[in-house]
Amino acid sequence: MSGSDSTSVNTTMSAQTMPAPTPPDWGRGRYERTAAQLLPAAQAVVDAAGVGPGERVLDIGCGTGNAALIAARLGARVTGVDPAERLLDVARGLAREEGLDVGFRSGDAASLPVPDDSFDAVLSNFAVIFASDADAAVAEMVRVLAPAGRIVFSSWLRHGAVGQLSAVAPDLIRRALDAPPPPRPFAWHDENALRTLFAAHDMTVTVAQHDLVFTDESPEAYLEAERHSHPLAVAGFEVLERLGQAEQAHKQLLQILTDGNEDTGAFRSTSHYLTVTAVGR
């Protein structure tokens, strides 16, 4: 949850007949809440990229436009790409409110709807890490990057109560469906794996670690808000409710948040993440 897990479940078929997992529908629920939580990380991505006036910037998986709008405020010429049309509409509306000229297009990381060598900076805030094919996603980022350009994205490290919640929730759904474990995803948080991935494109990688704090009135309030707003949680709890396991899962997830709570008077959980910068050699 909170943008830190990429599992999606096809809720209309049994485990015996279920095809490969479909991509998450990020237009469900109210991703706007999650986007607000992730805004400091979007700022960190733009800062790491050193975006300047007049530069051509691509924001992959732009969602409601966090990174795209920050870059546009700096005078960059920005394009945002996302597969969720509802989120693109939200991003367009926010850009209009600020008088920012940002182009938003439908598309995904494995097939970017933009020309070769067309961007000085390619950014992604907790989005490209959801790509089912890491090699294809990186190849696309490299394809659209201009010579001497840079790629910067954020990637979760598994720490804190919210990180643990995001790791456990997909397993609850898979067990409820009696579905087999999915293929092991690419380790977007592993520096060595990242260096190997980008070395195939003659690029070097550097990383920096950051903290992101999630807060609410209580663990119960945080989980309830996630359950009804985060796109993955909305889809997941629909599965659990259909199978009569929603409340059991709710109790287990609440216990994780309670045990890991850093604020006895409210709710606070510190997650860690990386900003990853890749440049040509």
Order of all β-strands in the sheet with 77-82: 102-106, 77-82, 56-60, 119-125, 145-157, 267-280, 203-216
pLDDT band with cut points at 50, 70 and 90 for residue 15: very low
For 129, phi and psi rounded to 5 degrees? Answer: -70, -10
Please give the Cα distance from 146 to 116 (Å, whole number).
8
pLDDT band with cut points at 50, 70 and 90 for residue 22: low
pLDDT for position 124: 98
pLDDT for position 1: 44
Examine residue 18 and state whether it is found in any structural domain, yes or no: no
Does the predicted TM-score (pTM) go above 0.85?
yes
pLDDT for position 35: 96
Examine residue 16 and state whether it is found in any structural domain, yes or no: no
The number of distinct structural domains making up the chain is: 1
Reported as a single tens digit per residue, the pLDDT across 220-248 is 999 999 999 999 899 999 999 999 999 99
Please give the Cα distance from 241 to 129 (Å, whole number).
28
DSSP H or E run through 156: strand 145-157
Intra-chain end-to-end CA distance of the chain, in Å? 36
Q: What angle do CA 144, 146, 150 make, to 5 degrees?
A: 90
Examine residue 163 and state whether it is found in any structural domain, yes or no: yes
If DSSP codes are grouped into helix, strand and coil, which group holds residue 160? helix
Of all residues in the chain, what percent carry a pLDDT higher than 70? 92
Of all residues in the chain, what percent carry a pLDDT higher than 90? 81
Q: Which domain does 129 fall in, by range?
A: 31-280
- Mean pLDDT, residues 168-183 taken together: 89
Examine residue 261 and state whether it is found in any structural domain, yes or no: yes
Examine residue 63 and state whether it is found in any structural domain, yes or no: yes
CB atoms closer than 10 angstroms to residue 137: 27
CATH number for 252: 3.40.50.150
Examine residue 220 and state whether it is found in any structural domain, yes or no: yes
Reported as a single tens digit per residue, the pLDDT across 40-65 is 999 999 999 999 999 999 999 999 99
Reported as a single tens digit per residue, the pLDDT across 136-175 is 999 999 999 999 999 999 999 977 899 999 889 989 998 9
Examine residue 226 and state whether it is found in any structural domain, yes or no: yes
Range of lowest pLDDT (22-31, 97-106, 120-129): 22-31
pLDDT for position 226: 94
Examine residue 14 and state whether it is found in any structural domain, yes or no: no
